[in-house]
Structure 1
């Protein structure tokens, strides 16, 4: 069984859910793919700052307390930092001696049967048409190192609530938000091998290709043949 949702998450949901319920029409599917008997990593595409809320809403309503990997600087904020720490959110330090702390904290959560929610791209996509871009390898590394499943959760529509990079929400009228979980990504060919760049990049690309394919189905459109690469195309914004 998935862990019982702690009181802190229920309190947070009591504040946030009414806003989401009043501003969205939810088209949700695939919850049967969320493992109830072990820890797992849920990965999603990232278009808008509203994505964590719709992603968390989906996981929470299906019985999972969402634990996000968040920028370490957020934990320094007087109120928000204490709130994030209380909810067992995981601070991510870029580089330096603390860089691995997030992996070790995530491992503890996974070992006790919790779910980790990750946006593998690490930031909002820079793709002009909002398709997933080339992702970081952290989620794949955790999945392979700790032998846990990766569940793809594609979402679309949250950008209508909050446009990319905007801080001004558009809550009325209600926006349709589609969130769909798929079967765990098949990473068997990568398991048990040294975690070198070839293995990590191969596993990461498999994860993102799965998400992109799911998003093509949701959007009814075809993604570009190659994902946007900030190193090749430039950062955009």
Structure 2
């Protein structure tokens, strides 16, 4: 009986090499399936990320379309006084003798006749008094100081006043404002002055003293006009036509 079972069991002995080969093939197949599945998942994830990116970008554009930045970059001072566009040439509307009365039309008061050194009519620099205080008005073209045309008001201001004193003004103008006391040897008077450098090529100076003129004597603690008033007078188009 034992011999019979032994002979029968010999036919049931496993074919080890075959089993090993089959196991290897199955393992390789499972590995390929896992790799394929991973590749499919990775591709799907990539597609989802791209789609999500497009949607976010589109929603961002839609959310900001037509909306100005919360904090737009401020314009610089130079930009404020940049090219004012086409400049209309102008001519003086006043002669030397008419400067004091024109000043009085802007600031009512009693004015004197021009001083003896005032003029010329083509570029008047006029000294006179307003209610007893010395005033100087200068209306000079851009070639008055240097002898050659200098259309850029910023350049004229820098050449005549120094760049540090030049500030942008309205409508393409450049402003230079000053206030000081003359040395005692020159009368010790205090003055305020504003020059408006215009883009049409004219420079307008308005200066006021705290006495009848530069040489004094001082009759008040301060000149009769502040810098804002002088700037308004100098900026007036009344001087031109």
Fold similarity call, TM over 0.5: no
TM-score (norm: length of structure 2):
0.22
Which structure's relative contact order is higher, taking Cα pairs within 8 Å and 6+ residues apart?
1
TM-score (norm: length of structure 1):
0.22
Greater Cα radius of gyration, structure 1 or 2: 2
